[in-house]
Each structure stands twice: as C-alpha cells, then as structure tokens.
Amino acid sequence: MNVNVDELVDRMLAGDRRALARLMTLAEHDIATAKEISQRTFTNTGKAYVIGVTGAPGSGKSSLVNQMVKIIVDRGSTVGVVAVDPSSPFSGGALLGDRIRMKENFTSEAVFIRSMANRGQLGGVARATKDVISLLDAAGFEYIIIETVGVGQAEIDIHDVASTTLLLVAPGMGDDIQAAKAGIMEICDVYVVNKMDHDGADQLVEQIESSLDLATTIELDHDASHVFTTKQVVRKTGWHPRICKTNALTGEGVEELIDVIQQHKDYLEYEGKLREKLAARYRRDILEILQEQFKVHVETALDPAKNDAIPGLFEALDAREKTPYDIAEELAKFIARMLS
Amino acid sequence: MSEESQSNRIIRAVVAKPGLDGHDRGAKVLARALRDAGMEVIYTGLQQMPAQIVETVIQEDPDVLCLSILSGAHNALFPEIVRQLQEKNIDDVLVMAGGVIPDEDIQALQELGIEGFYGPGSDLADIIDYIRSHLKR
C-alpha cells in the first residue's frame, strides 16, 4: 500500500477498512499528515455519537464495552471502538490488551476496534485519539466508544470528547474514596457499577446515590470556555446522572445501560445540546494540536544544535546567575523569532 | 521503506495465538519484551481463528504479526492465515512464527512468506533485532 493520503481517503470513504486503519496509523505518526488527513475528511465528520467509558484498571471496561458493542450491533447500528492504554514512560512501548476482551466482535463488518497507546499524553486522551475518532466518524460508524483508563483528571478529558460519559466502578476497589473526590462525581452522565454479583455492589450504588444527592448543582472551577480560572461557576444540569448495575461477563444489565445512554442522547438532542458538545470537543482538539506543536518548538529551542545560546544559558543556570524562569523567557523569545 | 520516517516511528506488533493451543506463556513473555523494547503490542489472546487474526491485522495495521503455536497445528493453520492475508492484499506486514515448529516443516512455511522461526529458549533480543531489521515498510 502506498502512502498517498488522497487515495487512502477515497478508499476509506468507499468502505475499505484497511485504508481506514492505515490512515489511523499515519495520523498517529505525525501531526503534519494528521493535518492533511483532517483537511480531506473533516467535512464527513460530525455524525457519529461518541460514548466515553472510563474507570480504574480492573473495573471491567473492556468486558463491558464488548457487551455494549454486541447490543448496539443487534439493535442495527455500526460501532467503532477506540481502546486507549497507557504507554510505558520508560520504554515508550505499550501492551494494548483491551481487544482481548472483545473477541466475539472481531469479524463483524459492523464493528471496528482500534487499540492505541496514549504515548505519554496527560489526561489519557491523546491528540491522535481525536484523529482516530474523526476517521471512524468519516467512515460512517454511527456510534464510537472510546475506552480509556481514568484515574482522576482523565475524566475531564473524556468529557470533552464524548457526548455521554460512563464512569465504571466495581465493588472492593476503594471506590468509596474515589466517590468523594471532586471532579469525578459531577461530570459523568452514567455511573456503572460493574460486577454486580460481587459483595458490596448495592452499597456502592447507595454511596454514589448519596454523593449525587449532595451535588445537585455542578460547581466547576473553570468557566464555560474550559479555561481554568479561579472563579466558581455554578451550573445546573437538567440531566440527573443515572446509576446502572451490570455484570460485564454475563451481559446482565447491559441492555438497560444502552437504554439509559439512548435516553441521554435523546435528552441532548431535545435540548439542542449536541452542537454545544461538538463545539467543546473541537475546542479541546485545537488546544491539543497547539500544545503538541508548541512542544515541538520548545524542544527545538532547547536543542543546542538548533539554538546556540543553550550552552551559555545552562552555564548561567548552573552558576545560579539565571533562574529556570529566566531561561524560559529567553526561549519564548527564541520561539517567537523562529515562528515570525 | 523510507528512511526519514523510520527512525522515530513506533513499531506496532500483533502477537496472535491461532487454533486451540492453550500455551500462552511464551506469547505473553514476548509481548512484554516487545513493549519493553518500545513497541506497541496487541495481544489477541487464545483461540483465534484465522479470520479473527486477519481481521485484527486489518484493523490494527501492525508492522509485524507474530504467530505463536505449540500444539503442532501450524501446517494446518499457517497456510490458511497466509492465504487470507493475501486475499485481503496485505503484503507489507512481517509475518513471523514462534512456538514448537519442527525443522522439517520450516521450509514449506518459509515458502509461504513466513519468517524468523523462534521457538522456546530463543533470545528475546534476537527476536527484537530481527523485527527491527526486517520490517517491510
């Protein structure tokens, strides 16, 4: 297969799954190609409904997603799955083991499963993940499930990307502490207590219910444009988060979960909020693209081969004549000159 | 294979267990070693039919497919996997074999395009070097 983006896009739009996979690989690899692909495919996006599934490792995310996919397909829709796992900070590699739980869905034409490593991006949803979601959208998949490990801050990320976010918890995982942590409880649309057959499942449901009762208004410490500020914003939501119990191994409770997701989708459509969600998602995309580009500029500025002021600056740092803030200011000027 | 983009490209590998073979320790050890060598590894789990393996290759677009089999069914399964890969015009994936494959069977499998036969006791570093130097794109 050659690397011609135009040809790959044409084939992908015509239903070629290999071309779709190759475009994903190219988008992941470098931002310049990702940009080219986006320019060719963006008009075809905006149709898919994105569901985010997050939860601590071991809560049963992949198994649950497997069941969700089965039901979505049974109900007559097509679904793409993006399963994100963390990259090793030491080797840069990753063991992408989510697909292993979705074997039954491998060969259905209605399903496309892609495993990705987050490649060190904070928040658990990498820049390239957005590109992969957009590609699945352009390829015509009606639902896209993004599955990622969330251990606190990451949920905020997934809330930007997905229209419905699911937080998965399981009994016996110290989730009573998790429930008390601000920033998690307020922003998920559906709480899923998995492993409902285990001891403690009903207590966990009660704990979540009481946390939610205490949080009928949503207080976020960033303003509506998602920039973190110190102002308190009180925002009431018309959707009261639901709690579902599931057994991801047997499938019990998953039909009801899909029904609840459908209710949330209907609510968003009825209230005209889907557009808002998309806008928030693209805003976040732009932020991440800029951050990635800026990182490259910073690395150039720090490279002694590209910036001959570096050895001098670091000598001054070592002699305590300049602070890291001073150096950063110098480099900002270097970058500004570089970009002009 | 273009030189410029290869240097910092992350290699994606699929480690697959075809057939009814339940011996997965080697495959798991390999998967971890590849991860520690900086690759992104998709491990398919046990009991994969050829169609499932090929579909995984289509969707995950790996650089290398490592087939692990210790049950002796390689002569039945590997040709079928290769046939299906060819049917889908997948020609730029390095296909390697591991597990228990007798020497007398290797040549026939090589003729199918399968490479790098590494069985139990193989040096993981050798496998990683082979992958890095035999990528098809």
Contacts of A103 in chain B (CB under 8 A): 44-45, 47-48, 52
Asked if B10's CB is within 8 angstroms of A95's CB, the reply is no
Asked if B43's CB is within 8 angstroms of A97's CB, the reply is yes
Q: Closest chain B residue to A18 measured between Cα atoms? A: B58
B12 touches chain A (CB under 8 A): yes
Contacts of A144 by beta carbon, 8 Å cutoff, 6+ apart: A48, A49, A50, A51, A79, A80, A81, A82, A133, A136, A137
Burial of A224 (0-12, 13-18, 19+ CB in 10 A): exposed
pLDDT for position A150: 61
Would you state the structure tokens that stand for residue A155, as one six-digit string?
A: 């949920």
* pLDDT tens per residue, range B34-67: 999 999 999 998 888 999 999 999 999 999 999 9
A333 touches chain B (CB under 8 A): no
Asked if B61's CB is within 8 angstroms of A21's CB, the reply is yes
Which three-class secondary structure state does DSSP give residue A173? coil
CA distance A296 to A338: 12
Is-contact A64 A168, C-beta < 8 A?
yes
- Its ipTM equals 0.88
Strand order in the sheet with A49-55: A111-117, A79-85, A143-149, A49-55, A164-169, A190-193, A242-245
A107 touches chain B (CB under 8 A): yes
List, as ranges, residues 64-93 from B with C-beta within 8 Å of A: 88-90, 92
pLDDT for position A83: 92
Nearest CB among A93, A103, A115 relative to B60 is that of: A115
Asked if B56's CB is within 8 angstroms of A106's CB, the reply is yes
The DSSP H or E segment spanning B116 is strand B115-118
Which three-class secondary structure state does DSSP give residue A249? coil
State how far the alpha carbon of A247 is from the alpha carbons of A49, A64, A168, A287, in Å.
24, 8, 11, 37
Query: Which residues of chain A are under the pLDDT cut of 50?
Result: 1, 151-155, 182-183, 217-235
Burial of A119 (0-12, 13-18, 19+ CB in 10 A): middle
* pLDDT tens per residue, range A301-318: 999 999 999 999 999 999
A114 touches chain B (CB under 8 A): yes
CA distance A293 to A297: 7
CA distance B132 to A133: 29
Q: What is the mean pLDDT of chain A?
A: 83
SS3 content of chain A, % helix, strand, coil (to 5): 50, 20, 30
CA distance B62 to A232: 47
The DSSP 8-state label assigned to residue A142 in this structure reads S
Whole-prediction pTM: 0.85
Contacts of A100 in chain B (CB under 8 A): 43-45
Nearest CB among A17, A96, A107 relative to B41 is that of: A96
Question: pLDDT tens string for chain B (137 positions)?
Answer: 343 344 568 999 999 999 888 888 889 999 999 999 999 999 998 888 999 999 999 999 999 999 999 888 898 999 999 999 999 999 999 999 998 889 899 999 999 999 989 988 899 999 999 999 999 98
pLDDT for position A229: 47
Nearest CB among A24, A91, A100 relative to B37 is that of: A91
pLDDT for position B71: 87
pLDDT for position A57: 78
Question: What superfamily would CATH give domain B3-134?
Answer: Cobalamin-binding domain (3.40.50.280)
Strands annotated E in chain A? 49-55, 79-85, 94-96, 111-117, 143-149, 164-169, 190-193, 217-222, 228-236, 242-245
B32 touches chain A (CB under 8 A): yes
* pLDDT tens per residue, range A106-123: 778 899 999 998 877 655
Asked if B60's CB is within 8 angstroms of A99's CB, the reply is yes
Substitution target from B43, B58, B66, B85 for chain A, most A beta carbons within 10 A = B58
A87 touches chain B (CB under 8 A): yes
Would you state the structure tokens that stand for residue A92, as one six-digit string?
A: 């840069």
